[in-house]
Amino acid sequence: MSHHPQASRLAAGLQVLGLALSAEQQQKLLAYLDLLAKWNKVYNLTAVRDPDEMLTHHLLDSLSVIAPLHRHTGGGAIHLLDVGAGGGLPGAVIAICCPEAQVDCVDTVGKKAAFIQQVAGALALPNLRGIHARVEALTGPYDVIASRAFASLGDFTAWSRQALGQRGVWMAMKGKHPDDELAALPADVEVFHVEQLEVPGLDAERCLLWLRPKEYV
C-alpha cells in the first residue's frame, strides 16, 4: 500500500479525522481514487483533475462525514441512498468505510451510475449499487438519504421524500451554512442537527445538516 503516491496523505488525513480504517479499506479508498481519475478522463465525473486535489476535495471531504454518520446510526446496519452521486461521493466512500451499510447511488446520468457499478465490481463491494434513475422514481425505504453539493435543501428533500423510510433522515453536505436554503424549507421539514466539518488540508467551510419530516417529533 505504501507505494501509492497518496497513501501517506490518506493515512494522515484519517488520523486527523479520527477514523480507524483497516489496511484493506485504505487500499480500497486509494483504488477508488485511481478509478475515479481514470474514468474521469473519459466520463467527466468531476471537474477536479489533480490527484492531490482529488484526495482533499473528494476523498477526505467525503470521509469527514463517516464519524458523524456512525454517531447517528450507532454503527448499525442501514440502507443509505446517495442522491446525485456523480462519481460516488460520498456514497462509494461510505460503502468502503461502512460495510454494514447498504449504499445505493442514484444518478440521472447513465455513465455515472455505470461507474458506480464498475467501482462495486472492481473493489468487491457487494454493499454498493449504482442506479440510473430520477430520485423521484425511487421508493426505498431508506434510513438515510445523503447528498453532497446536489441541490437546494428544499428540492433535495422534496424530490427524495417518498424514498425516506419511517424515522429516516436526510444528511446534506454543504459548504457555507445555507441560511437562504434553510429559510425556504417547507414547513413540515426540520433541521435537527448541524455540525461543522473540518476537512484536513481543505481551507473551506463545510457543514453537515441533518433533517427530518416534522411528523416524527
Q: Which of 53, 73, 55, 52 is nearest to 64 (CA)?
A: 55
d(CA 153, CA 55): 26
**Level-2 CATH architecture, domain 62-216:** 3-Layer(aba) Sandwich (3.40)
Question: Based on the number of CB atoms within 10 Å of its own CB, is 43 exposed (0-12), middle (13-18) or buried (19 or more)?
Answer: middle
User: For the chain, which residues make up each domain, given as ranges?
Assistant: 62-216
d(CA 26, CA 66): 14
Sign of CA dihedral 214, 160, 120, 210: negative
Better-predicted residue by pLDDT, 178 or 145:
145
pTM of the model: 0.94
Say if residue 177's pLDDT is above 50: yes
Per residue in 136-176, pLDDT tens?
999 989 999 999 977 899 999 999 999 999 999 999 999 88
State which H helix or E strand residue 209 sits in. Answer: strand 207-213
d(CA 27, CA 25): 5
Contacts of 22 (CB under 8 A, 6+ apart): none
* End-to-end CA gap in the chain: 47
- Report the share of the chain in percent with pLDDT over 70: 95
